[in-house]
């Protein structure tokens, strides 16, 4: 069987960092194999992916050692256009690779840069749209897509390049269950045409599709095994599985804390994202909001916090806050974005968590205590002085969650809390949220993870086409 990727004795450290992010990595991937790379958040999986497609060292510098062969050629001796036709990567956060004005332009961008004939470009755009069942999005503005729709658009743009090797970094993170199922079917078809390297925390998704798994931790390869063998491996079980501490105990007192009355919101393209939505949230609720990609879940949350303002009323503790700005609402309502990059701006993790506390005038000694507790909760005390943008997506997500939780708002809205997180880290975080709920904080959790919703939420609403079903 022909080898598609071969890595020997790979070491890598980012610029100005003494510690290796990757250390003594060796493995090979066969042609038309689905090879899964798994491990805890921050273990080096995404960095490894960036090496395989040449972003490291061609764009991101640093110290790189070892041999990396892709389709039989050394990546150091292969030009960027050549590599782009061999290896494509779907990034964990689709916003980081989308820049065109509409979906069709985004998909055609890669083939256009390879100077392909227009009829071939058009053919590839149509094939990608059809394969992902997003033909209706062809002329949609990128800016107004949901996270899941952006994910599908980014994948379509990658598939239009027809690479030999496809790297998928957390491809299910922004997808609803039906889309995950469709995505599984797409991968089953794609593996007949190309080699797939799958980086994923969703083990149920991975085990259905992968031929082999490589388990990583702290920048090193722990073991490589066939999928069925890996699932029984002691090290895999210790690193990648967890159970909630206990079942959620509902602490609600029946008093309404938040009322949404006849909420209506349309984006500039006249797509109506919320259609006469009314909802009562009670103090102490742990409310789950589920629904398909583009159903209006995040739009509803953004209207509650005031970053988007439509028609209708938002009532908090009996007071109409519809006209209030986000700053005033943030004293009572905390919001964790699905994409952590929207929420990070300080130059180290500790300052990031302290920022909100200072803005609500918490005493200095209490700021220190809350910050330390938050860092301990997300298991990132050692990263306190690190630049948030040097972290993995999962680590960034932890920081944004901690920065909101430290403020102890009455209502905490968390959009896809387990995005980019391994099972153990996700459970640890949600268990901490559960404890806040038991102390009287009201939680609103938007999630595609039905198991998480089932385990923690006392109430669940389902949205569809801008309405509550």
- pTM of the full structure: 0.80
User: Is pLDDT at 383 greater than 60 in this prediction?
Assistant: yes
**What value does the mean pLDDT take over residues 428-434?**
84
The domains found in the chain, sorted by start residue, are: 3-240 (3.40.50.300), 284-307+323-462 (3.40.50.300)
DSSP for 181-248, written as a single string: HHHHHHHHHHTTTSEEEEE-S-HHHHHHH-SEEEEEETTEEEEEEEHHHHTT-HHHHHHH----SS--
State the average pLDDT for the chain.
91
In the predicted structure, residue 254 carries a pLDDT above the cut 80: no
| Alpha helix ranges (H) inside 258-406 | 297-305, 326-329, 349-359, 364-377, 393-405
Tens of pLDDT along 36-95? 999 998 899 999 999 999 999 888 889 999 999 999 999 988 888 888 889 999 998 888
pLDDT at 420: 75
From residue 170, alpha-carbon distances to 201, 256, 428, 429, 467 in Å are: 7, 38, 20, 19, 29
Residue 282 to residue 372: CA distance in whole angstroms: 30
């Amino acid at each position: 069987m022909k080898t598609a990727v071969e890595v020997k004795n790979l070491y890598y450290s980012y610029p100005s960092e003494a510690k290796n992010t990757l250390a003594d990595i060796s493995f090979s991937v066969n042609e038309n194999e689905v090879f899964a790379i798994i491990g805890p958040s921050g273990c080096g999986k995404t960095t490894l992916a960036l090496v395989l497609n040449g972003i490291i060292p061609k764009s991101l510098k640093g110290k790189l050692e070892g041999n990396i062969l892709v389709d039989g050629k050394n990546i150091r001796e292969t030009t960027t256009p050549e590599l782009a036709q061999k290896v494509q990567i779907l990034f964990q956060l689709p916003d980081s690779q989308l820049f065109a004005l509409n979906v069709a332009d985004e998909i055609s961008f890669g083939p256009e840069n390879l100077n392909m004939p227009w009829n071939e470009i058009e053919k590839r755009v149509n094939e990608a749209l059809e394969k992902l069942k997003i033909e209706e999005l062809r002329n949609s503005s990128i800016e107004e897509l949901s996270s899941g729709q952006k994910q599908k658009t980014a994948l379509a743009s990658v598939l239009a390049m027809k690479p030999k090797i496809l790297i998928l970094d957390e491809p299910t993170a922004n997808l609803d269950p039906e889309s995950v199922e469709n995505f599984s079917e797409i991968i089953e078809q794609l593996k007949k045409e190309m080699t797939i390297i799958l980086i994923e925390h969703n083990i149920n998704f991975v085990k259905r599709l992968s031929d082999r798994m490589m388990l990583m931790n702290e920048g090193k390869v722990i073991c490589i095994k066939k999928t069925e063998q890996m699932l029984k491996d002691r090290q895999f079980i210790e690193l990648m599985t967890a159970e909630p501490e206990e079942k959620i105990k509902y602490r609600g007192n029946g008093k309404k804390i938040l009322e949404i009355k006849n909420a209506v919101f349309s984006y500039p393209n006249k797509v109506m994202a919320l259609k006469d939505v009314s909802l009562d949230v009670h103090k102490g609720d742990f409310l789950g909001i589920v629904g398909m990609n583009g159903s209006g879940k995040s739009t509803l949350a953004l209207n509650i916090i005031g970053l988007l303002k439509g028609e209708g009323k938002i009532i908090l503790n009996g007071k109409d806050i519809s006209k209030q700005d986000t700053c005033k609402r943030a004293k009572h309502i905390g919001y964790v974005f699905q994409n952590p990059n929207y929420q990070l701006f300080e130059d180290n993790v500790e300052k990031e968590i302290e920022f909100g506390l200072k803005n609500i005038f918490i005493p200095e000694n209490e700021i220190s205590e809350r910050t330390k507790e938050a860092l301990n909760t997300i298991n990132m005390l050692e990263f306190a002085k690190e630049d948030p943008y040097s972290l993995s997506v999962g680590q960034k997500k932890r920081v944004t969650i901690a920065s909101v939780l430290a403020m102890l708002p009455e209502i905490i809205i968390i959009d896809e809390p387990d995005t980019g997180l391994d099972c153990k880290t996700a459970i640890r975080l949600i268990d901490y949220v559960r404890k806040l709920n038991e102390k009287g904080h009201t939680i609103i959790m938007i999630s595609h993870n039905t198991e998480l919703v089932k385990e923690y939420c006392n109430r669940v609403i389902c949205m569809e086409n801008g309405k509550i079903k």
